[in-house]
Amino acid sequence: MGVQGLTTLLDNTPQIYREVRFGRSRLLIDGCNLLHLLYFKSGLDQNRGGQYAAFEDLLEQFVAALTDCSIAPYVVLDGGSDPTDKKLRTVTQRAERRIQKAHQAAAGGTEERLLPLLTKLVFRQTLARLKVPVAQCYGEADQEIAALAIEWQCPVLSNDSDFFIFELPGGLLPLTHFRWEAVEQSGSHRYIPCKSYNTSSFCIFFNIQRQLLPTFAALAGNDYVKLQWMGKFISWAEFAPAGSPAPRHLQGLLYWLKDFEKPHEALKAVLEMMGELNKQQKAEVLESLTLGMDEYELPPSSLKMFFIHGVAPAFPAEEEVAGHVPDWMRLPLTQARLNGAILDVLLLHRVRLGILVDHGDMPSAQLTSRPLRQVMYGLLLGRRKHRVVEERDRDGLQLKYIPVRPIVEGLIQQLARSSLHEAEPSDRLQVLLEALRVTQDSLSRLPPQLRLPVAVTCYWLREAQPPPDETLLKALLLGLTYGDTQRHSAPSQTLQKLFKPKLDMDVVHAFNQWQACLNDTIHLNQLLGCPLPEPQIARLYKGTLVHQLVHMMRTGGRFKGLVKGDRSSARLYQTMLSVVHQLHRQEMSAPTKTQKNETGPQRQPLEDLTPNLKKLFFQCDDEETVTEVKSALRAQEDLYLEQMLSVPTRFRTKERNNRCNNPEISRKEECRGWDVL
């Protein structure tokens, strides 16, 4: 982001910074910048699906350090893409580089600074739980952050070099120099040691006029100005004084700008230096440079009323956003309860899909969840002729825009975008369940917080290619079951430290597909007003743990230490596995009436038999009969679980007999469900 090389220039001239003891103040935080720096600086996993719980812990520590120093944080996030497409070329080039990096990471096991897919969701969920004020902009956040910082006279925390250009009265606190892990104390006040940057110090040091900073950024080339062919006419490095530190092209440009007072004087001189261009070409150069300079002209803040009074900003009228985006979406978008990509669908009919660490020979993991996104497109765009959404995704190692048609069928046809938030909860739930092809009854045996993840797992088991095997399924469900309960336990920590298995690209690809399905289901669930509870990702899924479980299961590892004494979690695992198997078998078989007649007598399912047994239990007063009914119920439940889990009956019978005959065995083998491994 921002002016390339500017951060390096400032690091090579440290006298521009001022050492400060920061505390007792508001602080505006560039959320996307903080997210990336915290994750990458911590050394957390990037290639095995992420360490979301560890990232949540890190974010909690960061917020605690701010609170300890009486710092009031306000986090601002990017939203949708710029509707004018001014940065389309830059954004596309970055996506192409990420595809290459993702392949390199997968093929060589290197870390290429690629965020695991669900990291941003963990970031938002954690800040919401910690009650940190968060605002998601309709577009990019830089201008909104700078505008509010000017009104509040408070500093900005970011590493984005664009903030070196904005004139911020409270200054900029670069994240790389913000030592939040080393809180210090002076008297009764605690503070964070850090460095502060101010444009006045920069201009004094390089002896240029303050009003020329936007001109400097545009001529150096920022996200909006890419003049690759300028080098044919001008080499700014030639103007750098002898002995200037790197980057020399920025040193030379700043030295050249010393002779000018006004921006238009500098632009005129640049055009004269490019004398070989014709009149039209010079006009295009001038327009591009002016556009780049205009990005540093700040409008009044639109977030102040939101942070203080909870009032969402109006949609930008000049971009005709209001005509395409329902008014009811303003508040949930600003609160980050709706994904900013919704604006891309509505305004650009285009969406950028995340690039995951995956081998270039594999198909994109995002293909698996495309039907879920098609449902979301149908809700947002409705039944409009010739309407498609272009999905930016990889095809091999190439970046492509793939036209995808919205799905508008069933209940979706009856739900209008303008009143979607007012639709009956049962209808909104039904749309979600039909997209995942599960039923409400099938999920009723599960705790509310696991219904959406298990429904996603059923969808993944059916749609993923190649189809996940039983080991992958069991490892995933074990991770979902024990990930949170064992979060801080010694066995879990020991397991994660014991080994880091080599990347298995089949495993990586399978779980990439699951994460893509979960990500898109959560976004669809949000759009529908959360008919299913949104799971807390950091407490649900740990990519490294699931990869370790797969490795251990395939190499004959033992798990008893991981779950010893946790009978409730073992039963929860059993329940999830039986629900997934049941739904998968129903989906795969679904016999017709003719097939049912030809197959002869069928075993009566548990859901049909159990009510009859319970009815008998409540109608009977005889103690002996009651005991028999209770035994029948328990036997039927055990039989049902054994059928779902494919456990040999004689092993189950032997185990139950041993439990009855020896209470010590019962005490030692609390985690009965673990035997299904």
pTM greater than 0.75: yes
Give per-residue pLDDT as tens, 220-260: 887 666 556 566 778 899 999 998 888 999 999 999 999 99
Give per-residue pLDDT as tens, 424-468: 999 999 999 999 999 999 999 999 999 999 999 999 999 999 999
pLDDT for residue 500: 72
Domains of the chain: 6-256 (3.40.50.1010), 349-593 (no CATH)
Q: Of the segments 2-6, 40-44, 59-63, which one has the largest average pLDDT value?
A: 59-63
Q: What does the longest C-alpha to C-alpha distance in the chain come to?
A: 106
Q: Residue with structure tokens 């995002």?
A: 366
Q: Which of 274-283, 286-295, 539-548 has the lowest mean pLDDT?
A: 274-283
SS (H, E, C) 190-231: EEEEEEEECHHHHHHHHCCCHHHHHHHHHHHCCCCCCCHHHH
Q: Give how far Cα 385 sits from Cα of 390, 403, 408, 634, Å.
A: 15, 14, 11, 56
pLDDT for residue 562: 58
| Local confidence band at 662 (pLDDT 50, 70, 90 cut-offs) | low
User: How far is the C-alpha of 144 from the C-alpha of 160, rounded, in Å?
Assistant: 14
Give per-residue pLDDT as tens, 333-352: 999 999 999 999 999 999 99
Helices of type H across 209-329: 213-220, 248-257, 263-273, 279-294, 304-309
In this structure, what DSSP letter does residue 30 have? E
Residue 499 has pLDDT above 70, yes or no: no
pLDDT for residue 399: 97
Percentage of the chain modeled with pLDDT above 90 = 69
| Local confidence band at 585 (pLDDT 50, 70, 90 cut-offs) | confident
The helix/strand/coil state of 39 is: helix
**CB within 8 Å of 43: residues ≥ 6 apart:** none
User: How far is the C-alpha of 485 from the C-alpha of 487, rounded, in Å?
Assistant: 6
- Among residues 76, 493, 111, the alpha carbon closest in space to that of 302 is found at 76
pLDDT for residue 654: 44
**Residue 292 corresponds to which tokens in the numbers above?**
């780049």
Residue 106 has pLDDT above 50, yes or no: yes
| Local confidence band at 565 (pLDDT 50, 70, 90 cut-offs) | low
| Local confidence band at 301 (pLDDT 50, 70, 90 cut-offs) | very high
DSSP 368-403: TTHHHHHHHHHHHH-S-TT--EEEEEEETTEEEEEE
| Local confidence band at 179 (pLDDT 50, 70, 90 cut-offs) | very high
pLDDT for residue 1: 55
Long-range contacts of 37-43 (CB under 8 A, 24+ apart): 37/159, 37/175, 37/176, 38/62, 39/115, 39/119, 40/113
pLDDT for residue 516: 98
Give per-residue pLDDT as tens, 354-411: 999 999 999 999 999 999 999 999 999 987 767 899 999 999 999 999 999 999 999 9
pLDDT for residue 25: 97
Which letter, b or e, does each residue of 280-315 get, where b requires 16 or more Cβ atoms within 10 Å of its Cβ?
Answer: eeeeebeebbbebbebbebeebbbbebbeeeebbeb
SS (H, E, C) 601-640: CCCCCHHHHHHHHHHHHHHCCCHHHHHHHHHHHHHHHHHH
Q: Which of 203-217, 243-257, 315-329 has the lowest mean pLDDT?
A: 315-329
Strand partners, 72: 26
User: For all residues of the chain together, what is the average pLDDT?
Assistant: 85
| Local confidence band at 282 (pLDDT 50, 70, 90 cut-offs) | confident
Residue 30 has pLDDT above 60, yes or no: yes
